[in-house]
């Protein structure tokens, strides 16, 4: 697994803690992330800096929790864009978030395949 995109130590710790529920955690993160991406796009389309900040902050937290550090970092930048109301910077950052999430999704699905029973 690529540590630049996912921290394998965080995933190993989650496996230890979650045990049989680990695959559910992976699935939940992916579904939840899709919703968070929709909220980011919606806030950007509506030029809503406040909701952009909130959505980015929430997404950042969930990414951090599962070791998706690069994705969390992009969300942190997007959160700051919302905080500073620099909405002209949002489209490019959202594209970067979407590209990084596409990579993380593939890695998580690969991780998930290891737990098929």
50-76 pLDDT, tens digit each: 999 999 999 999 999 999 999 999 999
| Homologous superfamily assigned to 8-112 | HPT domain (1.20.120.160)
- Give the CA distances from residue 106 to residues 43, 52, 54, 111, in Å, rounded to whole numbers and listed in that order: 26, 25, 26, 9
Give the long-range contacts of residues 22-29, CB within 8 A, separation 24 or more. 22/115, 23/112, 23/115, 25/66, 26/66, 26/108, 26/111, 26/112, 26/115, 27/112, 29/62, 29/66, 29/108
Q: What pLDDT is stored for residue 117 in this prediction?
A: 52
- pLDDT of 20 strictly over 70: yes
**pLDDT for residue 114:** 83
Domain ranges within the chain, ordered by starting residue = 8-112
Provide the pLDDT for residue 116. Answer: 63
pLDDT at 113 over 90: no
Rounded to two decimals, the pTM is 0.93
d(CA 115, CA 103) in angstroms, rounded, equals 19
- Separation of alpha carbons 71 and 95, rounded Å: 12
Two tokens at 47? 């030029």
Task: Find tokens 């579904």 and name the residue.
Answer: 31
Please, are residues 90 and 52 in contact by the beta-carbon 8 Å criterion? Answer: yes
pLDDT per position as a tens digit, 80-112: 999 999 999 999 999 999 999 999 999 999 998
Model pLDDT for residues 29-52, shown as the tens digit of each residue: 999 999 999 999 999 999 999 999
């Amino acid at each position: 697994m690529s540590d630049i995109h996912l921290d394998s130590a965080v995933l190993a710790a989650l496996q230890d803690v979650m045990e049989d529920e680990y695959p559910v955690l992976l699935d939940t993160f992916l579904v939840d992330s899709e919703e968070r991406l929709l909220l980011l796009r919606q806030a950007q389309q509506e030029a809503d800096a406040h909701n952009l900040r909130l959505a980015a902050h929430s997404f950042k937290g969930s990414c951090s929790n599962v070791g998706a550090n690069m994705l969390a970092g992009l969300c942190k930048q997007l959160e700051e864009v919302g905080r500073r109301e620099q909405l002209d910077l949002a489209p490019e950052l959202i594209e970067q978030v979407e590209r990084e999430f596409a990579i993380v999704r593939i890695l998580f699905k690969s991780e998930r395949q290891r737990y098929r029973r």
